[in-house]
Amino acid sequence: MNNKSKNIFGNGLGQLTIPIIAIAILVIFNLIRDPSFFSIELTHNNEGNSVLAGNLITIINGASELAILAMGMTLVTAACGGQDISVGAAAAIAGSAFVKILKSGDSISAGTVIIALLFACIVAMIFGAFNGTLVAVFKIQPMIATLILYTCGRSIAYWINGGATPTVTSPILDAIGKFIPGIPVPTPVIIVIIVGVIFKLVFRLTSLELFTQSVGINGNAARLNGINSTFVKLLSFIILGICVAIAGCIGVSRLGLINHETLLIDIEMDTILAVAIGGNNLGGGKFKVGGSIIGAYVIQMLTITLYAMKVSSTDVKAYKAVVIILLVVIGSPVVKEKFGKMMNKLRSRRAKVTVKGAERS
């Protein structure tokens, strides 16, 4: 039965069915609505670089932070069977730490940027380890454990900057947040690709993927098989911490300032959504990082499509909600089963006729 319903829906795509169907629907919808939505042109920006522009680029560029966070979140979800709701707050802390170092010197050189990046990574990893310890050692559900940082994270970011929203301007930051001179592709997109490749390489070269899955499916069984499940859970949170730091630094570089209240606001919900749309089970276990990345782009594409239809930025949420509900209803196991049964009935009618024929002969 399960196989059949998979055949009907999946055509062998399995887990990636829903995100791919979603993206296909969005593409077709936009093609019908306005084919010029997909036009990409080479223009010159204020600094005189030739850059790519167009809705498609905006989508791919805008979803960068989301995609990076979704990769880390997939690991946490798979290993712990729960989600980290503090990524936005943690990104604000990492961004503040980043700006703090940048502001400490007189001028911003390449060296300071690298030191600041590393410092932000370390800070985010420490907070990731804090969450991870609560989850792995104290056995608290991830959502509750990360609720602590969700509550006070943005205030800690505020505290780091002493109540101000400092601005930082430097060509190096522009290169991180916008474009590197001479390369027409936005830098955040390149960073996403690099992070994705690193994830792929880590999965290839180490047994992290297998360990994470086994811990997520059954922590005790994994422990009895000699996998240190506490460490795997902790590690997943620390990896998410690195992703958070990268996303936070991109966010800061994009705007050239840190605003602890608005930096990557509400991104935790979008990230979890990306993981869910990507077909990953939010209860842990098997996972596909690729699905989450596609999920991130689905969300961003939906948002930009709505913007293009002149929906105001505050109203977008309502339409988004409707699409999410439709997607999860289609993906729900009960609906799949019902649909599969219906198809089976149609098929079995034909099958019965042949079986009866066989008995007689």
Partner 1 sequence: MIKNNSLKREPLTDTQLLTTITIIIFFTMYFTAMGTLGGGFLRFQQIFDILNDNASLIIVSCGLTIVMIGGGIDISVGAVTSLVVMSCVMYLNSGGNIFVSILLALGIGLAFGLVHGFLISYLEIQPFIVTLAGMFLARGLTTIISIDPQKVQHKGFKTLLDAEIKIPWLGYTANNGNRVDATMELGVVIAIVVLIAVFILLRYLRLGRAFYAIGGNQQSALMLGINVKRTRFISYVISGALSGISGFVFMMHTGAGNATNAAGMEMNAIAASIIGGTLLTGGVGNVAGTFFGVMILTTIKKIVVSSGLNQPWWQNITMGGMLCFFIILQSVVLSRRNGKKKAV
Residue 282 near partner 1 by CB under 8 A? yes
- 240 neighbors 73 (Cβ within 8 angstroms): yes
Least Cβ distance, residue 301 to partner 1 (angstroms): 16
Choose between 170 and 218: whose C-beta lies nearer to partner 1.
218
* Residue (33 or 317) nearer to partner 1, CB: 317
- What tokens appear for 104 in the block? 């400490």
226 contributes a contact to partner 1 by CB under 8 A: no
Spell out, one character per residue from 109 to 148, where the chain touches partner 1: x when CB under 8 A holds, - when not: -------------------------x---xxxx-xxx-xx
If one asks whether residue 83 binds partner 1 (CB under 8 A), the answer comes out as yes
Phi, psi of 193 (to 5 degrees): -60, -45
Find residue 41's DSSP bridge partners. Answer: 53
Token pair, residue 267, equals 């991104």
Dihedral-angle region of residue 166 (phi above 0 means left; psi in -120 to 50 means alpha; beta otherwise): beta
Q: Which of 1, 334, 346, 358 binds partner 1 (CB under 8 A)?
A: 334
* 343 belongs to the binding site for partner 1 (CB under 8 A): no
Could you give the CA distance from residue 276 to residue 148 in angstroms, rounded to a whole number?
Answer: 23
Q: What is the smallest separation between the CB atom of 134 and partner 1, expressed in angstroms?
A: 7
Contact, 9 vs 331, CB < 8 A? no
The reply to whether 329 sits near partner 1 by the rule CB under 8 A is yes
319 contributes a contact to partner 1 by CB under 8 A: yes
Identify which of residues 53 and 147 has a Cβ nearer to partner 1 in the complex.
147
Residue 216 CB, nearest distance to partner 1 (Å)? Answer: 15
Distance (Å, whole) CA 356 – CA 341: 21
Which residue, 206 or 332, is less far from partner 1 as judged by CB?
332
CA 64, CA 191: separation in Å to the nearest integer? 8
Binding mask 287-316 toward partner 1 (x if CB under 8 A, else -) reads -------------------------x-xxx
The residues with which 50 forms a beta bridge, in sequence order, are 44
CA 66 – CA 229 distance, rounded (Å): 27
